[in-house]
Structure formats: structure tokens, C-alpha cells
Amino acid sequence: MEELKKKVKQALEEGKIHGFLGLKADEGDISPFFMTKDNIAELEKLTAPDGRYSLGKILSRIAAQNPGKAIGVMVRGCDERAIIELTKASQLGTASTVQFGVACTPQTAEKCNCPQPYPSTIDFGEKAKSVNHGELLTKLEQMSVEDRLAYWMAQFDKCIKCYGCRNICPVCYCQECTLEDKNLVPGGIVPPATPVFHFIKAMHMADRCIDCGLCEATCPSNIPLRTIYRHMRKVMQELFDYVPGRAADDKSPLGTLEEGGRLIH
């Protein structure tokens, strides 16, 4: 960690980055923080904990305030994938990023059920083994359509409409969210219109979800949201060989179909 702090400090002092976004530990509390060289002492608190936050999403807000500047950011595998998607969707504006890669520990990888618990370049930590528990998805896929729908309807009935899954999602960036469209999702009703509410989100995730699992982690009702989005990812990969978060120059098939449904690229 000391090495990483040194690298970030050097980049700040040399003016390679205007500021740095990472995670800090403050008396045991883990939170995101943004610093510039004016408050360099903050860097001492930098940590790579078990807890995760949507750093990509926070980065897009910082980027909007700092057009044209280079922003340093601590990235895990999931953060890197999110930043790839945000870049594709022009959500970082004219700001650029300098990424400091952190590989997750095997414990974090297991807790997050993460198939890719490391970024492409690692500045801290060692590559942990890929984790991929997909028992629920396999079980659901073997069910009849009726049983599967019944399963999801029972799950969606638990929803308290906190919008946490959308708020925490690193790749939910729309200014106007369809989930707040009163014509599709009537207001003042809990659980929200089922299954429309959750399936709108699932459709919007089809070419965006980077499988970070934060939606499921933040859901107060423990709805296995990630399983829906993982299914969407699987469909996208099987049909179009498209994996969100894989590469910045991949183009979403949902935006690039030509007449007859053939892919252009």
C-alpha cells in the first residue's frame, strides 16, 4: 500500500493528475474520498478494503466538474469495467483518467462472487482466482417459464422501491430515469409495478451491466438482482459476442444493428 501511496503522491506532485479518487479508512469506516495536492495528508488513509463503492459513478460526477483535467482513480476489476462503459457512453466528458489498479483479495473475490477480481494493470495486490457461483441462475434456467415467473414475482413483491439498485449502479447515468416515469411506474405504490419496474431496469442493463453486484449488495430486501442481469449478460454474449466492460472500442449491438438485424462491426 505504501508503494501505491507513493505512486499517487508522485503523480499529484508532478501534475500528471489533478486529483485522486479512492477509498479511505477512517476509524474503521470505509468511504470514498477525493483529494488534490492541497490536502495530500488524506492520502495516508488510502486503503484497499473489503467494502466497495461505485467509484466509476463518483468519478463521472468529479469529471463533470473538472473538464479537460486528468483524474487519478483507484480501480478494482469492477471499477475498470465500469469506467470502460462510462467512457463508451461519453459520461466522463473531456476529463481523462489515470488508473491505479488494485487486485482484490481471494476473500473479497469470494464475497463478491467475482469472475474477474482484478484490473488489467495491477499496482497493488495479487491476482486472486476467479469466482463464479451461478447455482441460482442454473436452477432458474431449468424451471418452466411459469415457475420462473412465479419465482421472480415473489422476489419483486419484497421490493420497497428505494431505488438503491439504480442509485448505486455505476452504469446507471441517465438524467431522466425511466423508472421515475409515472406512465410506466405509477407513483405512491409499494411494491412498485411488478414485474415492469424490475424488467425495465433489466432491459436497460442488457448492454451495460458490468457484473459488479453492487445492486444486490445494497438491496435491503435481498432480491437476487444480479442473477437477472447475469442472465442478460449471458444472452448478449451468446447472441452477439458482446460483453459490457470488456473493451472501450467494443460497440453495443443494441446501438449498431443494420437493416436485417446484422451487426455492422
Q: Which residues of this protein are in contact with other proteins, per CB under 8 A?
A: 28-32, 49-53, 58, 61-62, 65, 160-164, 167-168, 217-220
Return the number of the residue (30 or 202) whose C-beta is nearest other proteins.
Answer: 30
Return the number of the residue (167 or 227) whose C-beta is nearest other proteins.
Answer: 167
Return the number of the residue (57 or 88) whose C-beta is nearest other proteins.
Answer: 57
Return the number of the residue (51 or 134) whose C-beta is nearest other proteins.
Answer: 51
Contact, 99 vs 46, CB < 8 A?
Answer: no
Candidates 213, 201, 218; CA nearest to 245 is: 213
User: Among all chains, which residue has been given the C-alpha cell 448505486?
Assistant: 168
Shortest reach from residue 149's CB to other proteins, in Å: 26
Shortest reach from residue 29's CB to other proteins, in Å: 7
Report CA Rg, the chain: 19
Strand partners of residue 263: 257
Contact, 86 vs 208, CB < 8 A?
Answer: no
Q: Burial letters for 52-81: b for 16+ Cβ neighbours within 10 Å, e otherwise?
A: bbbbbbbbbebbeebeeeebbbbbbbbbbb
Shortest reach from residue 229's CB to other proteins, in Å: 18
Shortest reach from residue 155's CB to other proteins, in Å: 16
Return the number of the residue (186 or 220) whose C-beta is nearest other proteins.
Answer: 220
Chain centre to alpha carbon of residue 179: 18
Shortest reach from residue 185's CB to other proteins, in Å: 13
